[in-house]
Structure 1
Amino acid sequence: MSESEWVPGDHEFALCLTHDVDRPYKTYQSLYYALKERDPSHLRGLLPGSNPYWTFQEMLDLESELGVTSAFYFLNEQDLFADRPPRDWLSGTAWQLYAGRYDIEDPEIISLIREIDDRGWEVGLHGSYESYADREMLATEKRHLEDVLGHEVTGGRQHYLNIERPETWTYQRAAGLQYDATPGSPSDYGFHDGYDPYRPFDDEFVVFPLTLMECALPDPGTNVEKAWQICERLLTEARANDAVMSVLWHPRFFSDDYQSYDVIYRRIVERALEMDAWVGAPGTLYETLDHQSMPQAVAEERASQSAD
């Protein structure tokens, strides 16, 4: 049994499941992979009605089967042609950042967001590429998502893991977010920010560091056991240290373009449950925490501000 204040009940450790919804449609990537792999079958992604990256039903069904839920962070990114200056239209970087995105007011996206929420999963904010350094932009994106969702969101993660510490957290907190799940790496894995979440302002705002993004693993399609050994080692380390471990799997990694990543994800959840971990969404874990045990100085400062 864990003695950590961050791990609920009698569980050994906690595992937070998260998904950044970046590109639910396979658009120009179809041509890229067709040329790169010399495989014209990728062009089927451009056909009307074909949407290989729309894997949400499979994800929800998988997690429902295992008895867990997760967080889906939705992105409200700028459009390359509608929002960016013409000089960006010929920029490869701009195409990577802003082309092929989605509109959260698209009826299909609205329906998805509300279905995820209605089924009891967490919907959170995936702050756009520039919003980590723009307080008003971040606040606007949060309000926009909440208008679509119909209620407030608890937390989220910044796109591309962009962050300035502690400035980004001050913007998130000012916008009304209660937690951030950004700190981490797309190319490295491990508990580099420690085994516990932390409160950067000694108040209710909590940071859940990212332990593992799927693209940091060796390709499971080439060697599934090598990728699994890393995941099992992280789970073992989490249990030994009463840790809160967090993983990120993008929805497109459940498609056929990314062989065996879904197998690894299932094995992570199954193994964590076997090891008596608490498994769920960060927002759900946040709700189990004791936010009243703040340092006395913080409590006194808040009382003074309220009096004023």
Structure 2
Amino acid sequence: MASAIYRPTMNFVPVRPERSYAVKALERYWQNRESLILRLPIPEVLYPDIEQLPPPVEFVELPNWATDIAVEGSLLVPKQAIAEGETPPWTRTDWLWVIFWYLNGLAEQSFERQHGPIHSYSFQLKGWDSRLWSRAWVNRIALFLRRWAAREQGVSEQALFGSLPKAEIILTHDVDAIAKTLAIRFKQTAFHSFNAVRSLLRGQIGSSLSKLANAAKFLFSQDNYWCFDRITALEKTHGFRSHFNIYGGPGGWQRTFQELLLDPAYSIATHPKLKQQLQKMSAEGWTIGLHQSFNAWADAEQMQGERQRLEKALGFPVTSCRQHWLRFSWEQTWQAQQKAGFALDSTLGFNDRPGFRTGVALQYHPWCFKSRREQNLQVLPMVLMDSHLYDYRNLSDSERNTQIAYWLDEIYAVHGTASVIWHQRVMSNDYGWATGYETLLSTIEAKS
């Protein structure tokens, strides 16, 4: 347990920038009435300089009047945010520091300083409690503080703060391929083979043989990966518009072996059909962003060059992005993106599992520790990706539908905002993942 400074009122006590930031980040829940949240009797925990890894966490039980906001009556917080004392733990929890801790991935940042970037692979965080990523804990804390403030004022939440914000799912498509390349053949064949071995180890011989057959078929078959029209027609049917992230690198064969293997093969500068397609989509309401090269995750100059190449080809500004393969460093990537002229990044998620990487479904500004203020860039968490359902887990159709419903339900339950990735090429017959996207769209439409 941590020691704390108890502050029964915040009226005459200066508020540290980190605490003001935590409240401002969630302003959609209190609509410019942040002062009411800051006046809540929340203790200020004296947080240690060194983050314990893996981070110890604990469920804090909420009072009876807020149990519906919680998960089985409780919210998950880092243990160090709970002050010592005899009163109920929820009164001793520094909720504002918990928000700050989650939003800025303090535990992950500490891990990165010791071991380097994990580049969005959760399996590298060995021994970490996966429940950290299972819910939008920060949004649930916001709902709790909103209700607590209303009780303190003796009025309803609606009267004090107005209606809750509308949940929003941002549909995105990373365009890694517009034709079937050797790199794509090898990558997806490897996934099929891996799943075949995993099924065999589980004694599922029939499933293993089926996956080996799929691997061989994928390796040698021909297919059309130009799926833009199929996606836009489907989204029009449901009344949606989405974001397409486009590679801005040079493409072609005159690149390193790593670039040939891991980066897209096409070049927007030399592909008039692609330029026309994207310009048409933009005119009809779809958003175009940049999908940086594999090695650009910390290189502002390379990012800027790729952004400018894309803008020159399309004839309009590009201000949003997502890093290819979700290559990401807490210390370097967002700083590089800001220098390169971006306003929004949607990289924040995991390659190998769905989840809320910073415990939140919210578009927000991350914190700059050097200047002690929020960064100019906004980030939009990515919660679910097609490969989570098809490559990294061996799921049946019904199990995939259950997973889709679970993650969407959480976003809607907390009135949050998050993005989903469905790669453009996987709508082809090669992959056969179009049904999953149709299920996703239908589920969102039913909840909207």
Normalised to the residue count of structure 1, the TM-score between the two structures is 0.75
Distance 1:163 1:103, change over 3 A: same
Name the counterpart of 1:145. 310
Q: 1:71 aligns with which of 243, 248, 252?
A: 243
Name the counterpart of 2:357. 192
1:266 pairs with 2:438? yes
Structure 1 unmatched ranges of 5 or more: 46-50, 277-308
Name the counterpart of 1:304. none
> What amino acid is aligned across from residue 262 of structure 2 in structure 1?
L
Q: 2:403 aligns with which of 202, 213, 230?
A: 230
1:170 pairs with 2:339? no
CA contact (8 A) 1:19 1:249 kept: yes
Structure 2 unmatched ranges of 5 or more: 1-27, 32-138, 140-162, 194-211, 368-373
Name the counterpart of 2:417. 244
Work out the CA distance in 2 between the residues paired with 1:31 and 1:205.
36
Distance 1:252 1:67, change over 3 A: same
Work out the CA distance in 1 between the residues paired with 2:220 and 2:275.
27
Offset at 1:10? 6.8
CA contact (8 A) 2:185 2:218 kept: no
Work out the CA distance in 1 between the residues paired with 2:396 and 2:276.
37
Instruction: Work out which of the two has the higher radius of gyration on C-alpha atoms and give 1 or 2.
Output: 2
Name the counterpart of 2:295. 130
Work out the CA distance in 1 between the residues paired with 2:363 and 2:234.
27
Distance 1:11 1:271, change over 3 A: farther
Name the counterpart of 2:182. 28
Q: Any idea what SS the aligned residue of 1:252 has?
A: helix
Deviation string, structure 1 residues 225-253 (Cα, Å, up to 9, x no partner): 10110110111111221221210010111
What percentage of aligned pairs have identical amino acids? 27
Q: 2:168 aligns with which of 4, 14, 20?
A: 14
Q: 1:214 aligns with which of 365, 374, 386?
A: 386
Q: Any idea what SS the aligned residue of 2:244 has?
A: strand
CA contact (8 A) 1:183 1:208 kept: yes
Give the number of aligned pairs. Answer: 259
Q: 1:58 aligns with which of 227, 230, 233?
A: 230
Name the counterpart of 1:108. 273
Q: Any idea what SS the aligned residue of 2:418 has?
A: strand
Distance 1:157 1:41, change over 3 A: closer
1:181 pairs with 2:351? no
CA contact (8 A) 2:354 2:383 kept: yes
Distance 1:182 1:41, change over 3 A: closer
Q: Any idea what SS the aligned residue of 1:182 has?
A: coil
CA contact (8 A) 1:132 1:163 kept: yes
Distance 1:108 1:147, change over 3 A: same
CA contact (8 A) 2:168 2:416 kept: yes
Work out the CA distance in 1 between the residues paired with 2:242 and 2:330.
26
Q: Any idea what SS the aligned residue of 2:381 has?
A: coil
> What amino acid is aligned across from residue 28 of structure 1 in structure 2?
L
Name the counterpart of 2:262. 97
> What amino acid is aligned across from residue 303 of structure 2 in structure 1?
L
Normalised to the residue count of structure 2, the TM-score between the two structures is 0.53
Q: Any idea what SS the aligned residue of 1:211 has?
A: strand
Work out the CA distance in 1 between the residues paired with 2:290 and 2:238.
25
Structure with more contact order per residue of length (Cα contacts < 8 Å, sep ≥ 6): 1
Q: CA RMSD in A?
A: 2.9
1:256 pairs with 2:429? yes
Work out the CA distance in 2 between the residues paired with 1:269 and 1:64.
11
Deviation string, structure 1 residues 256-278 (Cα, Å, up to 9, x no partner): 1222x2222222222222222xx
> What amino acid is aligned across from residue 268 of structure 2 in structure 1?
I
